[in-house]
């Protein structure tokens, strides 16, 4: 396997699926010759042309609406928004149309669309360009939510998302784009809804999401030196959620810390905590701990932003508090 960045893995997935299926196309702002806001679609315009890599006006509602209609008509669009924060102006197209059409049409319509959106803080982009909004999408029946944490998962999950007959919200943390890892050159899929144990452990389960997986692994390294063995579980998808892998880990370690970058209040970790409390409470030796962002807009100041963000040190402190 070759070493590739998270960004290159996403690009590979789209290129291979576009070569395999002529119904797959890309739509979004500056996805053409410019190669996308973060460079993820670079080179695809030159290979596939403007018919299949389509630049749009600055109108998120048009992008998501067009993707929804194209999917209903039998195509397989990959729509890109520059930042997840901009989904607010296209919520009707996503939540009321794409998510509900298959149900409301009695299964006669399929909506095989992928909505790719960068999210996450740490680059000084301030409150309107840095949010982690995965919990919003988890709340809407009809949407699947994929959130890969490394290059190998990014490629396999994106290929699965493109082939799925339902709308998939595909969330990419901006600070992961440069992360390198081993990625197969050939096409492969990772089942949506199947998590992975990223590190085996016996004392505490850390369920981590997106960039927090990397932070959790760093925390686990620190804690190992203190004699605390952490198991790091990456759900990889939040909808459908791999409950079994989380519950099995908690039943083994008897302790749970959940790490995610979104605001702690009503975040994805709240759902995971409620699920574990409802189905494995008797296995817990200590309260469930969440490590997440405070209930506050994301600061622009680099010093304040770093103070705001969850990280490996905060995850380690949460683990120590229940050991």
Check: CB of residue 195 under 8 Å from CB of residue 237: yes
Give the pairing type, strands 114-119 and 76-80: parallel
The angle formed by the CA atoms of residues 220, 289 and 138, to the nearest 5 degrees, is: 100
- Per DSSP, the chain holds a count of helices (H) and strands (E) of 12, 14
The sheet that has 53-55: what strands, in order across it? 53-55, 24-28, 76-80, 114-119, 168-173, 144-146, 237-239
Active-site residue, selected from the candidate residues 129, 139, 173, 254: 129
**Long-range contacts at 17-23 (CB < 8 A, ≥ 24 apart):** 17/76, 17/159, 17/162, 17/163, 17/187, 18/44, 18/47, 18/48, 18/52, 20/187, 21/76, 22/52, 23/74, 23/75, 23/76
In the residue annotation, 254 being an active-site residue is answered as no
- Bridge partners (DSSP) of residue 79 are 27, 115
Catalytically annotated residues: 129
């Amino acid at each position: 396997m070759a070493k590739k960045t998270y960004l290159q893995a996403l690009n590979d997935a789209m290129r291979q699926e576009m070569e395999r299926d002529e119904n797959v196309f890309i739509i979004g702002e500056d996805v053409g010759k410019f190669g996308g806001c973060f460079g993820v679609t670079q080179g695809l315009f030159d290979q596939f042309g403007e018919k299949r890599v389509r630049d749009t006006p600055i109108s998120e509602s048009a992008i998501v609406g067009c993707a929804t209609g194209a999917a209903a008509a039998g195509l397989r669009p990959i729509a890109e928004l520059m930042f997840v924060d901009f989904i607010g102006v296209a919520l009707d197209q996503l939540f009321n149309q794409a998510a509900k059409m298959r149900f409301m049409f009695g299964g006669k319509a399929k909506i095989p669309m992928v909505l790719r959106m960068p999210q996450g803080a740490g680059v000084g982009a301030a409150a309107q360009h840095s949010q982690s909004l995965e919990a919003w999408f988890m709340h809407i029946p009809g949407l699947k939510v994929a959130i890969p944490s490394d290059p190998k998962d990014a490629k396999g999950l994106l290929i699965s998302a493109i082939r799925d007959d339902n709308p998939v919200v595909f969330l990419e943390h901006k600070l992961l784009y440069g992360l390198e890892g081993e990625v197969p050159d050939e096409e492969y899929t990772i089942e949506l809804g199947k998590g992975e144990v990223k590190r085996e452990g016996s004392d505490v389960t850390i369920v981590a999401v997106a960039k927090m997986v990397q932070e959790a692994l760093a925390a686990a390294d620190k804690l190992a030196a203190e004699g605390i063995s952490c198991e790091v579980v990456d759900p990889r998808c939040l909808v459908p959620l791999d409950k079994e892998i989380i519950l099995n880990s908690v039943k083994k370690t008897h302790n749970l810390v959940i790490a995610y970058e979104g605001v702690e209040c009503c975040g994805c970790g709240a759902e995971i905590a409620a699920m574990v409390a409802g189905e494995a409470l008797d296995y817990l030796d200590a309260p469930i701990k969440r490590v997440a962002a405070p209930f506050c807009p994301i600061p622009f100041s680099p010093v304040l932003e770093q103070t705001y963000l969850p990280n490996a040190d905060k995850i380690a402190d949460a683990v120590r508090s229940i050991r």
